[in-house]
Amino acid sequence: MGPWLQLPVIIGLLTMLVVLGLAVVVLWKVATGAIDLTYLISEPDKKASLSRFQFLIFTFVVAGLFLLLSIESGTFVDIPPNVLLLLGISGGSYAVSKGIAASVAKSNPATQSKGAPENSDVAPVPPAAGQNQ
């Protein structure tokens, strides 16, 4: 077996090591609090989003299944078009919900505050007695 025949295996192993290294770095940052996942599946108003949750879970389920099937067969398995269609529908429902939320926020002037601080949970501090306004 010549050295050129081993090149795809070496490239595959190096790619796997890079991806695993990135995964370890991301997991470490999540564990140490450098990456905050508190509002991962929430809307900007910090309410839970069913479309985000569905998109996240469905993507992980499909990816996990195909990873398991690939490990069992020893090779990459083909992804049927129906699964890709379902992933597209899931992503599309997320995109539509984002569009609806953006249009509602744009049409409702009460949600738009000019010059307001980004943290809307903090009430403005009134001026002290005797100060000019």
Q: What is the pLDDT of residues 99-130, one digit of tens each?
A: 887 788 788 766 555 444 454 454 555 555 55
Q: Is 74 left (phi over 0), alpha (psi -120 to 50) or beta?
A: left
Retrieve residue 84's tokens.
Answer: 């890709």
Question: What pLDDT shows up at residue 103?
Answer: 84
- Assigned domain for 11 exists: no
Question: What pLDDT shows up at residue 116?
Answer: 46
What's the total number of domains in the chain?
Answer: 1
- Provide the residue range defining the domain that includes 95: 44-106
Question: What pLDDT shows up at residue 23?
Answer: 92
- Assigned domain for 75 exists: yes
- Assigned domain for 126 exists: no
CA angle at 64 for the pair 63 and 69, rounded to the nearest 5°: 100
- Assigned domain for 94 exists: yes
Local confidence band at 49 (pLDDT 50, 70, 90 cut-offs):
confident
pLDDT tens string 57-93: 888 898 899 989 988 888 888 888 998 898 888 888 8
Report which residue type is found at 103. Answer: S
- Assigned domain for 91 exists: yes
Sign for the CA dihedral angle at 96, 101, 103, 104 comes to: positive
Helix (H, G, I), strand (E, B) or coil at 79: coil
- Assigned domain for 133 exists: no
Q: State the residue for tokens 């370890």.
A: 24
- Assigned domain for 74 exists: yes
Q: Provide the whole-model pTM.
A: 0.53
The more confident residue out of 115 and 32 is 32
- Assigned domain for 16 exists: no
